[in-house]
Amino acid sequence: MSKLILYGAPISSCSFRVRIALALKGLQHEDISLTSTAARRTAEYAGLNPQQLVPLFIHGDIKISQSIAIMCAAPSVHSVAAVICRGACIW
Ligand SMILES: N[C@@H](CCC(=O)N[C@@H](CS)C(=O)NCC(=O)O)C(=O)O
- pLDDT tens sequence across 31-66: 999 999 999 999 999 999 999 999 999 999 999 999
Burial (CB count within 10 angstroms: exposed 0-12, middle 13-18, buried 19+), residue 15: buried
Whether residue 91 has pLDDT greater than 70: no
Beta-bridge partners for 62 = 59
Which ranges in the chain belong to alpha helices (H)? 13-24, 37-40, 43-48, 67-73
Name the pTM for this structure.
Answer: 0.89
Percentage of the chain exceeding pLDDT 70: 85
pLDDT at 28: 92
To test the pocket of ligand 1, the residue of 54, 65, 71 to mutate (highest count of ligand atoms within 8 Å of its CB) is 54
- Is 36 a pocket residue for ligand 1 (Cβ < 6 Å)? no
Domain ranges of the chain: 4-77
Please calculate the CA angle 55-57-58 and round it to the nearest 5 degrees: 150
Instruction: Write the CATH number of the domain with boundaries 4-77.
Output: 3.40.30.10
To test the pocket of ligand 1, the residue of 6, 7, 11, 14 to mutate (highest count of ligand atoms within 8 Å of its CB) is 14
pLDDT at 80: 67
Distance CA 45, CA 25 (A): 27
